[in-house]
């Protein structure tokens, strides 16, 4: 089974099993990784924002226009930022490493 690594904001690395077909967000939730995902993967928020390790960024399928629009709302956006709900695990992504930003911006919360 493929593996992937989450790097927490404190620098702690957590390697987990990453079943093919699941999103990075779903993998995080199955492993109690603190990645929010307020819209449950419906591409309506940016709370599952992750920063993809540069060596893996170009291996991923390109972000859709809708994902790019949501990323514009993400806290701590970088040139390798993606939404975890949009990265589906494949055998080719075995070893994928993503960092969790220090905060999220949840636009879905009623003010």
105 within a domain of the structure (yes/no): no
17 lies in some domain: yes
pLDDT in tens, 58-108: 999 999 999 999 999 888 899 999 999 999 999 999 999 999 998 665 544
> Does residue 45 fall inside a structural domain?
yes
Domain contains 95: yes
pLDDT digits (tens, 9 = 90+) for 27-63: 999 999 999 999 999 999 999 999 999 999 999 999 9
Look up residue 21 and give its DSSP letter: T
3-state secondary structure of 97: strand
Domain that includes residue 93, residue range? 3-99
Pull the structure tokens for residue 72.
Answer: 């514009």
In this prediction, residue 109 has a pLDDT band, given cuts at 50, 70 and 90, of very low
Look at the chain and report how many structural domains it folds into: 1
CATH of residue 24's domain is: 3.10.20.30
* 88 domain residue, yes or no: yes
Cα 49 to Cα 46: distance, rounded to the nearest angstrom: 6
Long-range CB contacts for residues 40-44, cutoff 8 Å, separation at least 24: 41/85, 42/85, 43/67, 43/70, 43/83, 43/85, 43/86, 44/70, 44/108
pLDDT score recorded for residue 54: 97
**In this structure, is residue 108 part of a structural domain?**
no
58 domain residue, yes or no: yes
């Amino acid at each position: 089974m493929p593996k992937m690594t989450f790097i927490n904001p404190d620098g702690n690395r957590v390697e987990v099993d990453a079943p093919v077909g699941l999103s990075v967000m779903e993998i995080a939730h199955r492993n109690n990784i603190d990645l929010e995902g307020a819209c449950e993967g419906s591409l309506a928020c940016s709370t599952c924002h992750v920063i993809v390790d540069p060596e893996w960024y170009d291996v991923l399928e390109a972000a859709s226009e809708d994902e790019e629009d949501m990323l514009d709302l993400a806290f701590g956006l970088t040139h390798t930022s993606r939404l975890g709900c949009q990265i589906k695990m494949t055998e080719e992504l075995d070893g994928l490493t993503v960092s969790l930003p220090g905060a999220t911006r949840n636009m879905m919360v009623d003010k």
